[in-house]
Amino acid sequence: MRAWRQFLRAHSYVTRKLESDLETEHRLPLASYDVLVQLSEAPEGALRMNELAEAVLLSRSGLTRLVDRLERDGLVERRSCPSDARGTLATLTSEGRKRLRAASRTHLAGVSKHVTSHFSPDELDKLADLLSRLDRRAPAPQPPGGGCGQGA
C-alpha cells in the first residue's frame, strides 16, 4: 500500500504543478493541453470524438464540453467524417497548433522540473518499464482516412 499511496500522491502533486504552470503561462488547462497533444499526434490532426475521449480518458460528455470550449476558442473544429457520415471528427486548427507549440515549452519544462530531473536516465528507463506493466491497453489500430474507417 505504501507504493500505491506514494504513486497517488506523486501523481496528484505533479498534475497540480503542471496544471498551474499551463494555466498561469497560457490560460490553458491540462486537459485542454492533452486534447491538443492527442490531435497533433493523430493523422491529419484529427480524431473521431470517441477515439479522442478514450485517448484523454474522459467520458464522452466531458469531452464534448471540453471540445465545445476549445472550439469557441478557435483551437479545435468539428467536421463530418468523410467516409462515415455518422462520425464527427475533432480537428486541430492552425491556432490550436500555434497555442500547443507555445504551451509545450512550458509543459516540457514542468515535466523536467517536477519529474525527470529527480531521476537518473537509468532510473527513468526503469520507471517507464515498471509503469508500462499497468497499461494493458493495446495500441488502437488506426483505420485509413484519419480514423473514419468502418467499425471505428
| pTM: predicted TM-score of the whole model, two decimal places | 0.83
Q: Which domain holds residue 83?
A: 12-110
Encode pLDDT of 103-152 as tens digits: 999 999 999 999 999 999 999 999 999 999 988 765 544 444 445 643 33
Is residue 44 over pLDDT 80? yes
Residue 44 lies in a domain: yes
In contact, 54 and 75? CB cutoff 8 Å: no
- Contact present, 18 and 110 (Cβ < 8 Å): yes
Helix, strand, coil proportions of the chain in percent (round to 5)?
65, 10, 25
- Does any domain span residue 136? no
pLDDT in tens, 59-116: 788 899 999 999 999 999 999 888 777 788 999 999 999 999 999 999 999 999 999 9
Question: Does residue 123 lie within any of the structural domains?
Answer: no
103, exposed or middle or buried, with CB in 10 Å at 0-12, 13-18, 19+?
buried
Query: Is residue 2 in a domain?
Result: no
User: Can you say whether residue 27 is alpha, beta or left, with left for phi > 0 and alpha for psi between -120 and 50 degrees?
Assistant: left
CATH number of the domain enclosing 18: 1.10.10.10
What was the pLDDT predicted at 148? Answer: 60
For the segment 12-19, the average pLDDT, to the nearest whole number, is 96
C-alpha grid cell, residue 146: 484519419
Q: With respect to residue 28, please indicate whether it lies within any of the assigned structural domains.
A: yes
Is residue 115 one of the residues assigned to a domain?
no
How many distinct structural domains can be found in the chain?
A: 1
Is residue 142 one of the residues assigned to a domain?
no
Report the run of H or E that residue 86 belongs to, with start and end: strand 84-92
> Does residue 25 fall inside a structural domain?
yes
